[in-house]
Amino acid sequence: MKKTRKAVTGIRPTTLLIPLAVFIVTAAGPTSTALAGRDAEFEEVRRSLVKVYTRSNPPDVRNPWQKLGITSTSGSGVVIEGNRILTNAHVVANQVNVEVKREGTTRRFEAGVEYVGHDCDLAILSVDDKDFFEGAVPVKLGTTSLIRDSVTVYGFPLGGETISVTEGIVSRIEVSRYAHSRRPLLLVQIDAAINPGNSGGPVISGGKMVGIAAQSIRSAENVGFMVPASVIDHFFEDVRDGRFDGFPSLGVTYQAIENPSLRRALGLADGETGVLVTGVNFGSSANGTLRAGDVLLRIDGIPVAEDLSVPWRENNRLHFGYLIQSKQVGDRATLSILRDGRRIEEVISLRDEADLVPRPGFDVPPSYYIFGGLVFQPLSVDYLRLFKHMPPDFSYYVSYRNLKTAERRQVVLLSKVLATPLTRGYQGWQDAIVNTVQGEVPRDLPDLVRIIESSADPWLRIEAESGRVLVLDLQEAASKTTDVLGRYGIPEDRSEDLKQETGDRRRQAE
């Protein structure tokens, strides 16, 4: 049974402005038949190519009750079956208005975001006015390319207003982090130029779409990446039921087992391989099944090698996580496990990944809570982007202990203290990890609200992880919260999602 999750998305163009790739022709030159085929392919793709114009209004993470203001940007897209448009999620992230225009036409049409998958950086747009699609030839989805396959990238990169075409080959195929979501998924590297504005444009091989241009590396030349056909197909299959559920994950931390002594100590037989589980995320697919110290030997009968890889198409190898993320949320997987010298098999139901410090969020305002001038937020990747250098205490949770537990499902921050007479002496506090409130460790932000608003203690006492202590008169802080909000022009003491989860329990002055 799939879990319900609504997702929507906004715009970040690809990162690098680099010269167009050089077209390479054999010394003998192409035959007239080959030229005719290339011309037909170009004409079909040209008629389906779309320029996407987005106005977005991203949230202000430092001041989560407000937004940063309207920005305008553009990307590319392509017409697919069903009178829809496929593009990147980052092209329409945090959008307030989206317009589209077909190649070779002059009129812009208003578009809506029908589905968006931020994890895989894909979005489907719809246009109510059917005149937009007149004469369009929907592209057909092919299969994921192999290394050295030739590809052609179509789109509208910066430097001009008309169609741009670059060519290259597939250089690398691996599970790697997507720049937009920071989620590791299958990603294909190509040497065709991908520049800002190419995002969302089709990558064509053999007359079919084998990928969507997505990102590039700022410091390298002609190193671009596309979302491959298999990930696109996964996205299409996912949203058939009317919602995007995401990509499943085991939800474990792990290490390779390459050292001979470690292998023998764990009880691995000669020639036997696997991956050592070092931690399990609360609420994840593996929660309740895998344990720290287990050796994961096989997934659905496929052995996991000592370098964490599994076989994939024509003697290639990918990270073992690919076997899980290629399935849909709600599917099952069979795990072969070595535990305390015993070999067992377990079948698990697959869920989406949920880290203690969540990956970037889009189209949804950040969570926050304000009490007596104290501003609380959960630690997130979006919050970390405020820093040029990550604070060491944040790094611990992100790099070493990014696992939810039953006792801690968010890292709650006292992100800032608003200046008022009540908070005198604490106004330099910011970015402090909350260790306890009234002696309790808050499980998450809603739990912190519960602790504060149900407390009968005359004092509000907060201890930071650094050891610092903050104490306020609880009733005075409650009675002055409304005044603080008015002074700073803040509309609510908590975000909308927190209202729904905690109820509106704000204390009112009598």
CA dihedral 176, 179, 180, 186 (to 10 degrees): -20
**Alpha-helical runs (H) found in 292-444:** 322-325, 381-384, 392-395
Tokens of 126: 């719809």
Give the largest Cα separation in the chain, rounded: 90
Are 331 and 376 contacting, i.e. CB atoms less than 8 angstroms apart?
no
Give the 3-state secondary structure of residue 115.
strand
Residues 89 and 116: their CA atoms lie apart, in Å, by 6
Are 381 and 399 contacting, i.e. CB atoms less than 8 angstroms apart?
no
Give the 3-state secondary structure of residue 445.
helix
For the question of residue 479 being annotated catalytic, the response is no
Residues 92 and 106: their CA atoms lie apart, in Å, by 21
Give the 3-state secondary structure of residue 303.
strand
- Say which DSSP state 46 is in: H
For the question of residue 121 being annotated catalytic, the response is yes
Residues 222 and 208: their CA atoms lie apart, in Å, by 22
Are 113 and 123 contacting, i.e. CB atoms less than 8 angstroms apart?
yes
Are 243 and 225 contacting, i.e. CB atoms less than 8 angstroms apart?
no
* Catalytic-labelled residue, pool 48, 74, 90, 352: 90
The beta-strand segments (E) located in 161-299 are 164-177, 184-190, 202-205, 208-216, 224-228, 248-249, 252-256, 275-280, 295-299
Q: Give the containing element (helix H, strand E) for 476.
A: helix 474-488
CB within 8 Å of 288: residues ≥ 6 apart: none
* Catalytic-labelled residue, pool 56, 118, 119, 121: 121
* Catalytic-labelled residue, pool 145, 199, 216, 285: 199
Are 85 and 50 contacting, i.e. CB atoms less than 8 angstroms apart?
yes
**If you search the block for the tokens 């779409």, which residue do you land on?**
209
Give the 3-state secondary structure of residue 300.
coil
Are 199 and 14 contacting, i.e. CB atoms less than 8 angstroms apart?
yes
Task: Give the CA distances from residue 503 to residues 374, 412, 446, 506, in Å, rounded to whole numbers and listed in that order.
Answer: 19, 19, 10, 9
Residues 398 and 381: their CA atoms lie apart, in Å, by 9
Task: Give the CA distances from residue 269 to residues 272, 343, 461, in Å, rounded to whole numbers and listed in that order.
Answer: 5, 11, 55
Phi, psi (rounded to 5 degrees) for 199: -50, 125
For the question of residue 199 being annotated catalytic, the response is yes
**Which residues are known catalytic residues?**
90, 121, 199
